[in-house]
Amino acid sequence: MANYKPVIVQSYPKLGEKVTEDTLYWKNYKAPIQIKEFGAVNKIDFSPVQPYNYAVTASSRIHIYGRYSQEPIKTFSRFKDVAYCATYRDDGKLLVAGSEEGSIRLFDIGGRAALRQFEGHTKAVHVASFLSDKYRIVSGADDYTSKVWDVSSASEIIAYREHTDYVRCGCASKLNADLFVTGSYDHTVKVFDTRTEKSVMTIEHGHPVESLNLFPSGGLLVTAGGRYVKVWDVLKGGQLLVSLRNHHKTVTCLCLTSSGQRLLSGSLDRHVKVYSTTSYKVVHSFHYEASILSLALAPNDETLVVGMTNGILNIKHRKHEEKQRSGRRRRPTYRTFVKGRNYMPKQEDILVTKPVKTYLKKYDQLLRSFQVSKALDAVLQGPVRSNSPEVAVAVIQELNRRGTLKNALAGRDEKQLTVLLNFLIRHVTDARFAPVLINVAEMIIDIYMPVVGQSAVVDKQFLKLQNVVEKEIDYQEELLEVLGMMDALFATMARKKPIPLEENKLDGL
């Protein structure tokens, strides 16, 4: 009896992801660590000094985490209601935060109780940050006001009432201790100078502003609101440089890398986009399991932390090449084991062949013993069904070649038929598998038409399959219409090139 030949799985071309330096860089993060907080994470802020701890604001607590700790090393919980926007000072010794009740609290990282409490806002304070001189605090609240406070005396220095809606974001200039920027739900961004009583610049974003950030140079401002991320030139009076629309839902947070060469944006569409600040094109993208409210990068870009609406804190650390320990014995490298594998024997060499034992897959073993129905079940169940549909299609083609495909499809119970119909629904519109799977769908309809109506589950699957096929037909018809329009357009463009008058004269001579 001849040896059994295993099923040949056809390889189909794939549109692979273009591998760039950014792809390699951003994929070089370890598997994420996830921590469950008490509520939605509305702010993450890294300490500017080593060891780069970070403050997480969620619900009525502020947790301080170490870079590699999964439990908070310190907690500030003296809030009656929701806390917002805990932000470090430049020396990493003080922390300021707003709250739902309208007060601002100043904490010492080494203590627990608040050092200062600033009262003056009548509604929730969503913005609280230090000016670069370290002795003044700027705040913004839902009472439409922005205020500057003196840390030492806990008194209000100046108040601005220019916004006409909630003030939800803001940042201070690192280069000028008197400049700060606020963004509001009135679609505007205002630049303030504490030496003046009015704003020095107003920028119209066009959507409620959720987040903003100043570049390290201080000359560029990036704002996020709606689905748009916009970059403005502050030195040119707020001129719009670029408008980016790469998210499908509202952009909620922005972050810059330490070098300022990459910009990160998080959105409610559960994606974090990484932009190049030279071309403003998306160079990488992260996908998360829930809508994103906040994100932050460590000052050395070694840690990426993302906070989500479901209270999950997602932490990724960059991988480091492990240095070889001098005391341990070095193991052989991979090339030691494959040495000589591609060696071509010479004429005087004596070639000793070693029999290679072939191991058959489960579906090949079942096909070898003519158990066609079980072989089909083996490729339709488990990870093979979703990860590599090429294997299932190859087995179906082999059954069709043998003439036993109809026997393999017949005699199935409700559960087995549901699995088969699910596979068809998922892959029947794939151009690579459509010719084979359409034939399978026709056979299934012929076999099980007499029993339609006896199972609600199977009937529902048949209706889903019908809807998928009808949608695909509609798409094909629309594509044919577009193709006809394009053919007509190209036909009008490809006119006959007129012969110049000088060439006619030469031909006549």
pLDDT tens, residue by residue, 406-460: 999 998 888 889 999 999 998 898 888 899 999 999 999 999 888 888 889 889 9
> By mean pLDDT, which of 32-36, 52-56, 338-342, 416-420 is the weakest?
338-342
pLDDT at 17: 59
pLDDT at 78: 82
Using the 8-state DSSP alphabet, how is residue 352 labeled? Answer: -
Q: Pick left, alpha or beta for residue 29 (phi over 0 → left; psi -120 to 50 → alpha; otherwise beta).
A: beta
Q: Which residues of 100-233 form beta strands (DSSP E)?
A: 104-108, 114-118, 125-130, 136-141, 146-150, 155-160, 167-172, 179-184, 188-193, 199-204, 209-214, 220-225, 228-233
Question: What would the mean pLDDT of 198-207 be, rounded to a whole number?
Answer: 93
Strands 209-214 and 83-88 come out as: unpaired
Question: What would the mean pLDDT of 478-486 be, rounded to a whole number?
Answer: 91
Question: What would the mean pLDDT of 359-370 be, rounded to a whole number?
Answer: 88
The pTM score is 0.65
Q: Is 55 within 8 Å of 86 (Cβ atoms)?
A: yes
Gap between the Cα atoms of 192 and 412, Å rounded? 73
Q: Is the pLDDT of residue 153 over 50?
A: yes
Gap between the Cα atoms of 180 and 192, Å rounded? 6
**Which is more confident, 330 or 393?**
393
Q: What string of DSSP letters covers 407-461? A: HHHSS--HHHHHHHHHHHHHHTT-TTTHHHHHHHHHHHHHHHGGGTTS-HHHHHH
Question: What would the mean pLDDT of 385-390 be, rounded to a whole number?
Answer: 71
Mean pLDDT, rounded, of the chain: 87
What would the pLDDT profile of 282-293 be if each residue is shown by its tens digit? 999 999 999 999
Question: What would the mean pLDDT of 347-370 be, rounded to a whole number?
Answer: 83
**Which is more confident, 113 or 107?**
107
Identify the band that residue 496 occupies on the pLDDT scale cut at 50, 70 and 90. low
